Structure 1
Amino acid sequence: MAAAPIAGQMISFLLKKENAKKTIEVGVFTGYSLLLTALSIPGDGKITAIDCNREAYEIGLPFIKKAGVEAKIDFVESDAHLALDNLLLNPKNEGSFDFAFVDADKPSYQHYHERLMKLVKVNREAMIKLNKSLAADPRIDIAQLPLGDGITFCRRLY
């Protein structure tokens, strides 16, 4: 039930690319993706990690502690529906998260999506400006993927 290693690599890449500092994870299980996130964000970064099963989280906790990233994690033992709704009770949380990762009960994804749309920042304008600039640069070859705010891979030609 853990995230695939290739997905973990992509998550780490995206976090670093976006310089994400405040993230949210819905569905933690034993903490593999959580550990990757904690290792990928800066020292002052914070992760709100939501899962209804603290016992599973504690299986991976020794690895999180050994990596020295436990202080970045705010583990919330709760049903994710309730935890997300509680986050939205504080207006300061709206638009304050840089990144969200969901790996929980699939039938609830639409519910999570609606709440996360309110919690995650909008970076659309900056990404459009960057992608227009990259598309016009003859020195690079690009591939653009419609994931999240979009992912652009660049390969320098000369």
Structure 2
Amino acid sequence: MENISEPKVFANTVILQSEGLLKYILETGVYPREAETLKELRNATAKHPMGFMGAAPDAGQLIAMLLKVSNAKKTIEVGVFTGYSLLLTALTIPDDGKIIAMDPDRKAYEIGLPFIKRAGVQHKIDFIESPALPVLDKLLEDAENEGSFDFAFIDADKNNYWNYHERVMRLVKIGGIVAYDNALWGGTVALPEKAVSKDKQEWRLLSLAFNEAISKDCRVQIAFVSIGDGVIFCRRIA
């Protein structure tokens, strides 16, 4: 009989999924390096009824590294919520960098605004209270915007992920990076449909469809990372 308390080993890869392991990662390598304003915003977000929608801090740590490695300066954020990933990006990019952020929920954004102001990075942020598609289409009306962005973070309505993808593929430069959050949709993408609660079935199917489509998109190099709720990183190559 298999001992389920032991990790499964495939070649040099150890598959470990447990709250204890995540706690260890966060307490050892993430929280000690987290900016104080980010920590305060994360704690404030946890009090929100939909606090689980906030970006995962371990995913944020990887995003910050990619922003630095790619020397990102001009970015897009689709879906802001209280602004954890927005603040993280603003803290990471240069002082003259710019983020165009869009979300129809200004009330949630205003939870994070005091922390953004305290961090002294509000001047880098252009927050637009609107659904994302009209904003992205407006950006594309100006030919100078095409291929001018270094990075994009997408964490919004999953039914529009492919619509966002088609637009940011034109806005992000060759070599630029796009990150799609919630690619695992609470782990439901790996479960049979009958094992998934009805309230998660529709977006599970949307996630499955997007994940399959992005894996076949020859315009991007991808890295599907099981961090947070799953993040797909795409590097535009064509």
Q: Which TM bucket (shorter chain)?
A: 0.7 to 0.9
Counterpart position of 2:95: 43
Q: Which residue of 2 aligns with 1:73?
A: 125
Asked if residue 16 in structure 1 is aligned to residue 16 in structure 2, the reply is: no
Q: Residue in 1 aligned with 2:106? A: 54
Distance 2:129 2:138 in 1: 13
- Give the C-alpha shift of residue 116 in structure 1: 0.3
Residue 79 of structure 1: how far off its partner (Å): 1.0
State the partner residue of 1:127. Answer: none
1:22 is aligned with what amino acid?
K
Residue 29 of structure 1: how far off its partner (Å): 0.5
Higher RCO (CA 8 Å, separation ≥ 6 residues): 1
**What's the Cα RMSD here?**
1.4
- The structure 2 residue matched to 1:28, chosen from 77, 80, 84, is 80
Query: 2:235 is matched with which residue?
Result: 149
Identity across aligned pairs (percent)?
67
- Paired with 2:100 and 2:63, the residues of 1 have a C-alpha distance of 16
- Structure-1-length-normalised TM-score: 0.79
> Which residue is equivalent to 2:116?
64
Which secondary structure does the structure 2 equivalent of 1:98 belong to? strand
- 1:139 maps to what in 2? none
SS in structure 1 at match of 2:126: strand
Residue 98 of structure 1: which of 129, 147, 150 is its match?
A: 150
Q: Deviations over 1:121-155 (max 9, x none)?
A: 0028xxxxxxxxxxxxxxxxxxxx733229xxxxx
2:81 aligned partner, one-letter code: F
Amino acid at match of 2:62: M
Q: Which amino acid aligns with 1:117?
A: M
SS in 1 for 2:174: coil
Partner of 1:134: none
Gaps of 5+ in 1: 125-144, 151-158
1:120 aligns with 2:206: no
SS in 2 for 1:29: coil
Counterpart CA distance in 1 for 2:57 and 2:137 is: 30
With normalisation by structure 2, the TM-score equals 0.53
CA distance, structure 1, for counterparts of residue 74 and residue 91 of structure 2: 13
Paired position in structure 1 for 2:18: none
Structure 2 SS opposite 1:121: strand
Aligned length: 130
Gaps of 5+ in 2: 1-52, 177-221, 224-232
Say which one has the larger Rg: 2
Distance in 1 between the 2:175 and 2:100 partners? 20
Q: Which residue of 2 aligns with 1:132?
A: none
